[in-house]
Amino acid sequence: MSDDQLIAVKPAIAATAHVTVEQHAAMTQAAAADPEAFWGKEAGRVAWIKPPTRIKNTSFTGDVSIRWFEDGELNASVSCLDRHLATRGDQVAIIWEGDNPASDAKVTYKDLHARVCRLANALRELGVKKGDRVCIYLPMIVEAAVAMLACARVGAIHSIVFGGFSPDSLASRIQDSECSVLITADEGRRGGRTVALKTNADEALRTCPSIRAVVVVKNTGAAVPMQAGRDHWYDEITTGQPAQCAPEPMNAEDPLFILYTSGSTGKPKGVLHTTGGYLVWASYTHELVFDYKPGEIYWCTADIGWVTGHTYIVYGPLANGATTLMFEGVPNYPSVSRFWEVVDKHQVNIFYTAPTAIRALMRDGEGPVTKTSRKSLRILGSVGEPINPEAWLWYYRVVGEERCPIVDTWWQTETGGILISPLPGAVAQKPGSATLPLPGVMPALVDAEGNRLEGATEGNLVILDSWPGQARTVYGDHERFIQTYFSTFPGTYFTGDGARRDADGYWWITGRVDDVINVSGHRMGTAEIESALVAHPKVAEAAVVGMPHDLKGQGIYCYVTLKTGEEPTEALRKELVAWVRKEIGPIAAPDAIQWAPGLPKTRSGKIMRRILRKIAANETEALGDTSTLADPGVVQELVANRVG
């Protein structure tokens, strides 16, 4: 795609946009010149018990300390609920659309407030106090949002674990942050199938002594065992609770939530976000990037188990008094028209999804899209991985009929919210480019040695200074936070992504430069999959890399060395795929397993992943320098037996 293909800002959008071209430039300038003044003003987006007087106190060097609005006091649930009651208590806060197209529900701000207060009171009765960790392992039902906000109400730190994760993955996350309560459901529903959440939870809890109580939402009504004294039905403990609950006053820097995410090494990290800065960022970005106007119907298709669900289904939209749609299902059930049918059914104006969904739907052609109206759509968004220009253009032409701007939003769990994205009324788009940083965000490119690169070039993407939504630490391991994000290029936040900046100053994210792979927008650490593989009794060694994949963006390619005497059979291959699914979850299921009698290693024993990535990608003519290998013959063997 040429860097020059500009899709101009649409006059109809610009005419009413929150931010115009001129304002974008002025805001960018103002935020850079005087961050204190700029963010001091933006802090007014949320409801403070005690407004902050100290705005920014951040350092990316030494012990790395990030503090925003540090003398302010607030409660996130009040900003998302109470303050809307007078003006829009009867407005719908959440439209819930079930997996089954016949089931849906509408929850007003007044209803949501009451439901949150009832659960918050019940949590307090279970002994939950400010600072306690509560794990949420729920499907995409209204109770998931209620649970998040009820935790915020009582000052508990929520840690949501995606419902698709295995009992082992759930257990390790509960153990790491020593959660005292788990909120789950009997079962989840997705694509016409059920997910055995309570059964998974029971298995996980065998190794989670910190859990004192389990709250179980009756969702499908399936019979599940309840452990007396530990397990409580959600309905039983919330019915009869008062519909009011005094919010816990929180310092701006008190934690709001932990969310586990994969990195290049070790176990997933508990990324920690605090209350004030995160909420301001969620509100600021949701309003500006989606140009959200009161009364509009906004739909983000993410799962609440990922950061996108946190910031752009719950906190951002509700802080802004929006109507947010929560979808329990999948894009292709009961048919591949589902997304667009839901858009028509609920008259969705703003639609935010992932490139992997767009690529999957493209395969079925335009018919399933064009048979729907989609006239309500005004803005389309993309998140989770680089969107290839073909998918961008299809989304733009077929779904949005060239009427809707596309906001390709680059950000991460650690950034709390969007950092690089067009604003619909202010920034012309280029298919495949995340375009420009939001006002207040300072990206830069550095080479491998950390030298700043200027002009049109490509390099490692770093951020030079803090923004309010930034993660503050890794739960229980600040040293790991410093090591992971601030030691590679000292003095800057290292994103782990590579990027290119073109001659117009537009940013093109090229993907991860570390050992993290992005499968359908889900971050997976190759180290996690490797350790799952070597935990199998027949596996001696494993190396995992990403490979190009038409639908998923990246697929999981595993090189496996078996223990002496073990036979590489098709049955064993299937067994290993099932093993990894069970150990981590279905999203980690390998796409290819290649039997590797040996792995290419340097003389010091380091696996040369660069070579393994090339073989997996079938770029075997350009393997690069193999002279430092201990045994170059290994490479020929692997090339000859590449799978797929």
Q: Which residues are annotated as a binding site for CoA?
A: 190-193, 308, 332, 520, 581
Strands (DSSP E) found in 488-538: 493-501, 507-512, 516-519, 522-525
Nearer to ligand 6R9, 422 or 590 (CB): 422
496 binds ligand 6R9 (CB under 6 A): yes
530 binds ligand 6R9 (CB under 6 A): no
Distances (CA, A) of 126 to 152, 238, 605: 15, 11, 52
Could you tell me which stretch among 59-67, 372-380, 425-433, 515-523 binds ligand 6R9 (CB under 6 A)?
515-523
388 binds ligand 6R9 (CB under 6 A): no
Q: Contact, 423 vs 23, CB < 8 A?
A: no
Distances (CA, A) of 299 to 97, 348, 565: 11, 7, 54
Q: Which of 261, 337, 349, 488 binds ligand 6R9 (CB under 6 A)?
A: 261
Q: Please write down the HEC assignment for all residues of 88-147.
A: HCCCEEEEEECCCCCCEEEEEHHHHHHHHHHHHHHHHHCCCCCCCEEEEECCCCHHHHHH
Q: Which of 245, 509, 580, 596 binds ligand 6R9 (CB under 6 A)?
A: 509
Report d(CA 99, CA 70) in Å as an integer: 42
> In the structure encoding, which two tokens stand for residue 523, read together?
């971050």
Q: Single out the residue of 431, 447, 486 nearest to residue 464, CA to CA.
A: 486
Q: Which of 255, 305, 331, 384 binds ligand 6R9 (CB under 6 A)?
A: 384
Could you tell me which stretch among 370-378, 410-418, 574-582, 630-638 binds ligand 6R9 (CB under 6 A)?
410-418
* 570-583 helix and 526-534 helix, angle to the nearest 10 degrees: 120
Q: Which of 24, 88, 232, 512 binds ligand 6R9 (CB under 6 A)?
A: 512
CB of 279 to ligand 6R9, least distance (A): 17
Q: Which of 69, 281, 410, 557 binds ligand 6R9 (CB under 6 A)?
A: 410
Provide the Cα torsion 127, 128, 129, 135; round to 10°: 160
460 binds ligand 6R9 (CB under 6 A): no
Report d(CA 392, CA 7) in Å as an integer: 12
CB of 35 to ligand 6R9, least distance (A): 23
Using the Cα atoms of residue 288, residue 471, residue 502 and residue 39 in order, give the sign of their dihedral. Answer: positive
433 binds ligand 6R9 (CB under 6 A): no
Q: Single out the residue of 362, 411, 349 nearest to residue 382, CA to CA.
A: 411
Using the Cα atoms of residue 116, residue 120, residue 121 and residue 122 in order, give the sign of their dihedral. Answer: positive
Give the per-residue contact string, 194-233, with ligand 6R9 (x = CB under 6 A; - = no). ----------------------------------------
Report d(CA 421, CA 627) in Å as an integer: 42
Could you tell me which stretch among 3-11, 78-86, 250-258, 383-391 binds ligand 6R9 (CB under 6 A)?
383-391
Rule CB under 6 A: which of 66-125 touch ligand 6R9?
none
Q: Which of 153, 359, 523, 549 binds ligand 6R9 (CB under 6 A)?
A: 523
Q: Which of 39, 281, 299, 306 binds ligand 6R9 (CB under 6 A)?
A: 306
429 binds ligand 6R9 (CB under 6 A): no
Could you tell me which stretch among 147-155, 169-177, 382-390, 567-575 binds ligand 6R9 (CB under 6 A)?
382-390
416 binds ligand 6R9 (CB under 6 A): no
Q: Residue ranges for the binding site?
A: 190-193, 308, 332, 384-386, 408-413, 497, 512, 520, 523, 534, 536, 539, 581
Q: Contact, 457 vs 501, CB < 8 A?
A: yes
Total binding residues toward ligand 6R9, as defined by CB under 6 A:
25
Residue in the structure block whose two tokens are 């890399």:
545
DSSP annotation string for 291-316? T--TT-EEEE---TTSHHHIIIIIIH
493 binds ligand 6R9 (CB under 6 A): no
Report d(CA 206, CA 293) in Å as an integer: 47
Q: For residue 419, how far is the Cα from the chain centroid?
A: 13
Distances (CA, A) of 79 to 19, 207, 252, 294: 23, 37, 13, 16
484 binds ligand 6R9 (CB under 6 A): no
Nearer to ligand 6R9, 434 or 593 (CB): 434
Nearer to ligand 6R9, 72 or 263 (CB): 263
Residues 6+ apart with CB under 8 A from 265: 515, 525, 527
Could you tell me which stretch among 75-83, 235-243, 377-385, 594-602 binds ligand 6R9 (CB under 6 A)?
377-385
180 binds ligand 6R9 (CB under 6 A): no
Residue 497: how many other CB atoms lie within 10 Å: 20
Q: Which of 518, 554, 561, 594 binds ligand 6R9 (CB under 6 A)?
A: 518
Q: Which of 175, 412, 483, 620 binds ligand 6R9 (CB under 6 A)?
A: 412
CB of 288 to ligand 6R9, least distance (A): 16
Report d(CA 214, CA 198) in Å as an integer: 10
Q: Contact, 338 vs 325, CB < 8 A?
A: no
554 binds ligand 6R9 (CB under 6 A): no
CB of 594 to ligand 6R9, least distance (A): 25
Give the binding site for ligand 6R9 (CB under 6 A).
261, 306-308, 382-386, 408-413, 434, 495-497, 509, 511-512, 518, 521, 523
